[in-house]
Amino acid sequence: MRDLIARWRGESVVTAYDEPSDTWMFIALHDTTLGPAMGGVRMRVYPVIEDALIDAMRLAEGMTYKWATIGFGFGGGKGVLAVRAIPTGDERIRLFRRFGRLVESLRGGYSCGPDLGTTPEDMATISLETTHVHGVRGEGRETVDPGPFTALGVFSGIKAALRHIDGSDALDGKTVLVEGVGDVGAPLARMLGAANARVVIADLDAARAQALAEEIGGETVSADRVIGTVCDVYAPCAVGATVNATTIPLLQCRIVAGSANNQLFEPADADRLHARGVLYAPDYVINAGGATALPLLEMEDPSEEDVRGRIRGFDAILTEIFEEASRDACSPLEAAHRRVERRLRGDD
């Protein structure tokens, strides 16, 4: 872990070991140029603790880019709870209260919200200990689920990608493979189904995939056959790094556009996709719907329609990115990074 921290180009990593549950807690603070760090808290069982630290660091970096892209005054941070087993009941509540106290100890230097493996209800638990938590509103602790907002951004991004390649964003008859139908993938699949796309669903939980496919009139493919399935759009909506040097040569899609954070194993994968002629919608742009909705919905008198309008605007941001990439013959990730660099330097 010493080497990982020494090599990291972020600001700091807060580390706590939670003895009662044998959980390692990491809060990675990547870049606070634009404001205090804000980002979700993820809970997972990791094969080794180092993987959890790497996840926290890479996810925090993604948040820096996300905030800069959507023009919000927050810095990049992310929390990770590396648990032994997914806790339930009282055990879960106690764990999140202790994490809430850790967040509180930073006095606003980091604020959290839901991410993979954590729920709006967990945020309500955290809010018993700190106000530096998002997705919980008012005294009644009404929760806000960012998932459908993230899904809306991905839906708009898929249309932008189709339009860039085909000149039309009609989803009718287009095949979209949604990998992972959790809090984001499920609402995305529903929107795609309603737009008459042919939706193919994969999930580690085969029963969950089947039930959703039946609901929306879609199809399923087993989770281990996602790569290699022929489709127009591959939408990774689960864990990251599914797009890598091994999988890219096997992809049978024209577009990669989904909600997962860190879809690429490494930045060079963006060039590999580009070389294969697969259009990649940079993850931190297309999946910024939740990050857009959470702070806006906390403001006084938020209008959900305004928030949705802003998220639909990702279409225009991505279109600009795709056009800049075409013009400069670079990958869309490179074009998106340039925008972020301009923002962080204050040139934009």
Binding site for ligand PHE (CB under 6 A): 38-40, 113-115, 134, 146, 261, 287, 290-291, 294
Minimum CB separation of residue 38 from ligand PHE in Å reads 5
Compute CA 20 distance to the chain's CA centroid, rounded to the nearest angstrom.
30
First to last CA, the chain: 36
CA atoms of 289 and 308, how far apart (whole Å): 9
CA distance 245 to 256: 15
For ligand PHE, the closer of residues 151 and 321 by Cβ is 151
Least Cβ distance, residue 220 to ligand PHE (angstroms): 26
Cα 176 from Cα 188, distance rounded (Å): 10
CA neighbours within 13 Å on the CB side: how many for 22? 6
Two structure tokens written together for 348: 């934009």
Q: 38 or 197: whose CB is closer to ligand PHE?
A: 38
Q: What is the H or E stretch that residue 76 is in? A: strand 75-82
If the CB atoms of residues 120 and 332 are measured against ligand PHE, the closer one turns out to be: 120
**Closer residue to ligand PHE, CB minimum distance, 156 or 287:** 287
* H/E stretch holding 294: helix 289-298
Least gap, CB of 2 to ligand PHE (angstroms) = 27
Our CB check for ligand PHE shows the closer of 113 and 218 to be: 113
Q: How far is the CB of 116 from ligand PHE (least distance, A)?
A: 7
Closest approach of ligand PHE to the CB of residue 115, in Å: 4
Nearer to ligand PHE by Cβ, of 55 and 115: the residue is: 115
160 contacts: CB under 8 Å, gap ≥ 6: 169, 281, 314, 315, 316, 318, 319, 322
Q: Which of 81, 16, 95, 97 is nearest to 44 (CA)?
A: 81
Strand-pair partners of 256: 234, 280
**d(C-alpha 323, C-alpha 332), whole Å:** 9
Using the 8-state DSSP alphabet, how is residue 228 labeled? T
Tell me how far apart the alpha carbons of residues 245 and 289 are, in angstroms, rounded to a whole number.
28
Shortest distance (Å) from residue 284 CB to ligand PHE: 8
Give catalytic residues, as residue numbers.
Answer: 78
